[in-house]
Amino acid sequence: MIRLRGIRRVFRVGETTVEALAGIDLEVDAGEHLAIMGPSGSGKSTLLNVLGCLDRPTAGSYELDGREVARLSEAELTRVRRHKIGFVFQSFHLVPRLTAAANVELPMIFAGVPRAERRRRAAAMLEAVGLAARADHRPEQMSGGERQRVAIARAMVMGPKILLADEPTGNLDSRSGRQVLELLESLHRRGLTLIVVTHDPAVARRAARLVVLHDGRIVVRARGPEEIARALTELTAGDEAEDA
């Protein structure tokens, strides 16, 4: 489904050149659950933005479903983001003045879905994430966990094949974070390709595969519970050694 070859992303900051991604090679099969870790500034969010077609790489090849993303027009990229990829963020990004139902309807408004169909699908998605009773509540009237579940409902309402989650539990308490992870994993079990950026080893352990970035490069690749556990142990030991 996803194939990256030699992906570089270079930014100009004043007179300085910053290489956020320095030659990323990565493949993600349909239906995978991948965790991406790395310290602040390692390129995690830049990589997620490239994967989500929110940003174009400076160099390299990105194939999505066999199509070279660099050859897609802006209109085609918009369709990809609208129909193939869902996004969930640490800060929820809900519109404060809108109800939960209205927030879930937003992607369908941009896609031109008729009003009656929007309402039906929004209600069904809120039911699916356990928030049917909160449909008329605004974000300020909901807990952090409830807001994140609304954000997931909004991300999924167009039926994407891929869900990109950037620190989805970062602003949540442990109980709410666990509920959100269980919801994401239930979607994955139904065939969704799930890619999660996280700083939390407990979140990474739940994935089937792990990659770790450092200075824009993949420095660790691990697959399966044993390899991931070993990689996380080594990373933790390395962090403790640096702190000492």
pLDDT digits (tens, 9 = 90+) for 155-213: 999 999 999 999 999 999 999 999 999 999 999 999 999 999 999 999 999 999 999 99
pLDDT at 31: 96
CB distance 183 to 217 below 8 Å? no
Angle formed by the axes of helices 115-128 and 100-110, to 10°? 130
Average pLDDT over every residue of 78-99: 95
170: helix, strand or coil:
coil
pTM of the predicted model as reported, rounded to 2 decimal places: 0.93
Residue percentage of the chain with pLDDT more than 70: 97
pLDDT at 240: 60
Q: For residue range 156-169, what is the model confidence (pLDDT) as tens digits?
A: 999 999 999 999 99
Look at residue 126 and tell me whether its pLDDT is greater than 70: yes
Residue 184's Cβ-side half-sphere holds a number of Cα atoms within 13 Å equal to 34
CB distance 199 to 37 below 8 Å? yes
Report which secondary-structure segment, H or E, holds 33. strand 33-37
Count Cβ atoms below 10 Å from residue 24 Cβ, excluding itself.
Answer: 24
Confidence of residue 244 (pLDDT cuts 50, 70, 90): very low
Confidence of residue 241 (pLDDT cuts 50, 70, 90): low
Residue bearing tokens 């129909």:
83
